[in-house]
Structure 1
Amino acid sequence: MNLERLRILREFAEYGTLTAVAEAMAMTPSAVSQQMRTLRREAGVTLLERDGRGVRLTDAGRALAGHADRVLGALDRARADMDSYRAAPRGAVRISLFPSGAAMLLPGLLQGAQSAGFDIVGRDVDRPAAHAAQQLADFDVVVVHRDDRDNSGWSDRLDATILLREPLDVMLAPGHHLAQRRTVALAELSDERWIGVEGGLMVDDVLRSMSTITGTIPRIAQRINDFRVVEELVLTGAGIALMPRYVAITRDLIRIPISDIRIARRIEAVTRAGAAAQPSIAATLEILRTICRQIATDQPATNRR
């Protein structure tokens, strides 16, 4: 049986729809369907059956998907074993980072990789952390951020390395009536307008956590994903915003901790299970850990820019 078709079957077992498999593997749904039909002929049994408006795996399909997972896992381990025989990292590591993470981490990562003798191919991709598994169809490492209260686990097919826990502060214009405070209580922000982000992204998850804990629902005036645009809106008084403490800002704005609730984002590097056995990926993760340790060490204990 063709390994690529087995990989498609495994992805279907994971995602449950042909459309999701097509998106994860950068294929068209019709191409996925054609490959599944070919695999059915190779296997000699029916692998999919109708389920309402969609399809699902038959018992035989589930059995073959389990074998496919083991076969492909063994192949990945074999490749990792071969890579481990190399004396040093080499080749290129493809990495996806959320935009503010790319600004913080990518320059140092490029320098570290160059010194170690391998290449980094980076992209800034603004997608929820839950999409990391799909992104790994195109990347070796996916750096995500999520609400530190999010305790949802990762699939057994993924490994996650915690890089940094970063507090979030309230960002205010210098003329704001709370701008001279060292800390602020959440109740004091109940009448404020907030500059939020698209639903499903980290800041929106944190705002939802705040709402759940306190019963205070933030008034979202605008939803803007780009922190630079957020800065401009806060500066002009369009609203206040949450800003990760270690993100560099360019405008003369004030950042103040919230005193009665601990809010933070957790930055993680997600890889396929076992991928860290490859020297270049292991080196990438170690460089990221080193950068993050330095970031946390260098930050002054202040609420000002």
Structure 2
Amino acid sequence: MAIERLRVLRELADRGTVAAVAAALSMTPSAVSQQLKVLAREAGVALLEPDGRRVRLTDAGRALVVRADEVLAAMDKAAAEMASYRGSPRGEVRVALFPSGAALLLPRVLAELAGSGVEMVARDEDVPAVEVPRLLADYDVVLTHRDERAASIGGPRVASRVLMREPIDVVVGPNHRLAGHGAVVPAELADETWLSVRGGFPVDDVLRSIATVTGVQPRIAQRLNDFTVIEALVASGYGIALMPRHAVRHPDVVMLRLAGVRAARLYDLATRPHAEKRPAVATVLAAFQAAARRATGPDDQQR
């Protein structure tokens, strides 16, 4: 089986449509379809089946995608090993980060990489953790976040490593009735107006946990994914919010520890399996680990 045809199959698994694969690989849709037909003949089994006006992978196709990941990872490793004979790790590593994680870690990561010969190209991608496999079609490393009680996103086609834990606190305005408290329990928050994020993100998961404990459905006035906007509204008295501890910047909000509920998010670094065998990717992963150690304190690791 030709490696390039295996790459086309993997792209179809990642992107979902022949048209999307054609756009990603600078091919025509008919050329993509032809490559997939040839690969099916080489495999001796059907790899695709009709799905309405589109196609989807058969069980055999999905199994072959997993092997394609392994073959392509081995090719990347071989290229990286040859590069290592030419000196220190070099090359470009594409990284996707969620915005608040980028604000905390990206300056530190870039400082770690200075002089390494590795060029990190960063882009912000604000999606729930379940969408990370889709991002790995375009990125070598994805920094994502999830509620600490949520399952890992790791699987046959995704390698996931926990990078750090960040507590999630309650933030209130300076004149709020709870502003003088160091900590609060869910029962004290049952009648509050909330400013939250869109569903599927860790902060919303914690808010739903508060609702479960209190038996009161939270009254959410606004859903915004920009923590800078959320804390500005909190400071102005338009509601209270849950925010990751290191995302709080506004001088006029008051942070309160949330007691009685597990309230934290985990940062995960996701790659394709075996991607760390590329020296450049391994260097970036190590830079993230060093940055996380410097960014967190002992309280962050308490569970």
The gaps in structure 2 that reach 5 residues or longer are: none
- The Cα shift of 1:67 comes to 5.3
Structure-2 separation of matches of 1:24 and 1:141: 23
Q: Structure 1: which amino acid aligns with 2:37?
A: R
1:104 partnered with 2:118: no
Q: For residues 158 and 63 of structure 2, what CA distance do their matches in structure 1 show? A: 21
Identify the residue that residue 281 of structure 1 maps to in structure 2. Answer: 281
Where 1:50 maps in the other structure, the secondary structure is: strand
Does the Cα contact within 8 Å between 1:24 and 1:135 map onto a contact in 2?
no
Residues 1:226 and 2:223 are matched in the alignment:
no
Shift of 1:53: 5.6
Secondary structure of the structure 2 residue equivalent to 1:115: coil
Q: Aligned match of 1:22 in 15, 20, 45?
A: 20
Distance (whole Å) between structure 2 residues aligned to residue 245 and residue 280 of structure 1: 31
Distance 1:9-1:228 versus aligned 2 partners, 3 A rule: same
Q: In 2 relative to 1, CA 106–50 (structure 1 residues): closer, same or farther, beyond 3 Å?
A: same
Q: Is the 8 A contact 1:170 1:256 kept in 2?
A: yes
- Separation of aligned partners in 2, 1:296 and 1:200: 24
What's the offset of the Cα at 1:80?
4.1
* TM, length-normalised to structure 2: 0.85
Deviation at residue 116 of structure 1 after TM alignment: 2.4
Task: Provide the C-alpha distance between the structure 2 equivalents of 1:149 and 1:55, rounded to a whole number of angstroms.
Answer: 35
Paired letter, 1:293? R
Secondary structure at the aligned position of 1:112 is classed as helix
How has the CA–CA distance of structure 1 residues 111 and 67 changed in structure 2, closer, same or farther, with 3 Å as cutoff? closer
Q: d(CA) in 2 for partners of 1:95 and 1:269?
A: 10
The corresponding residue for 1:142 is 142
Match of residue 191 from structure 1: 191
1:202 paired to 2:199? no
List aligned pairs for 1:1-305, cutoff 5 A.
3-13=3-13, 17-18=16-17, 22=20, 26=24, 31-32=28-29, 34-41=31-38, 43-44=40-41, 47-52=47-52, 54-58=54-58, 61=61, 65=65, 68-85=68-85, 87-297=87-297
Q: Is the 8 A contact 1:99 1:125 kept in 2?
A: yes
Matches of 2:157 and 2:111, distance apart in 1: 30
Contact 1:109 1:287 (8 Å CA) reproduced: yes
- Corresponding letter in the other structure for 1:8: V
TM-score w.r.t. the length of structure 1 is 0.84
The residue type equivalent to 1:18 in the other structure is T
| Residue type of the alignment partner of 1:35 | V
User: Where do 4+ consecutive residues of structure 1 move more than 6 Å?
Assistant: none
C-alpha deviations, 1:116-163, integer Å up to 9, x for none? 232221112211111212112222111111111112441222222211
Deviation for aligned residue 1:62? 5.5
Q: Which amino acid aligns with 1:259?
A: A
When the two chains are superposed, the root-mean-square deviation of aligned CA atoms in Å is: 3.0
The one-letter code of the counterpart of 1:36 is S
Task: Count residues with an aligned counterpart.
Answer: 297
* In structure 1, C-alpha distance between the alignment counterparts of 2:165 and 2:51, rounded to whole Å: 43
Following superposition, the deviation at residue 58 of structure 1 comes to 4.9
SS in 2 for 1:246: helix
CA displacement at 1:64 relative to structure 2: 5.2
- Given that 1:83 and 1:278 are in contact with CA atoms closer than 8 Å, whether structure 2 keeps it comes out as no
Which residue identity lines up with residue 125 of structure 1 in the other structure?
A: E
8 Å contact kept, 1:5–1:36? no
CA distance in 2, matches of 1:13, 1:23: 9
Query: Which runs of no fewer than 5 residues in structure 1 stay unpaired?
Result: 301-305
Q: Could you say what secondary structure the match of 2:165 adopts?
A: strand
Once residues 52 and 26 of structure 1 are traced to their aligned partners in structure 2, the CA distance between those partners, rounded to angstroms, is 23
Contact 1:9 1:36 in 2 (8 A): no
Q: For 1:142-195, what per-residue CA distance to the aligned partner results, in whole angstroms no more than 9, with x for missing partners?
A: 111111111244122222221110100000000000000011111110111111
Q: Which amino acid aligns with 1:150?
A: A
Residues 27 and 78 (structure 1 numbering): CA distance in 2 closer, same or farther, change over 3 Å? closer
Aligned partners of 1:108 and 1:63: how far apart in 2?
39
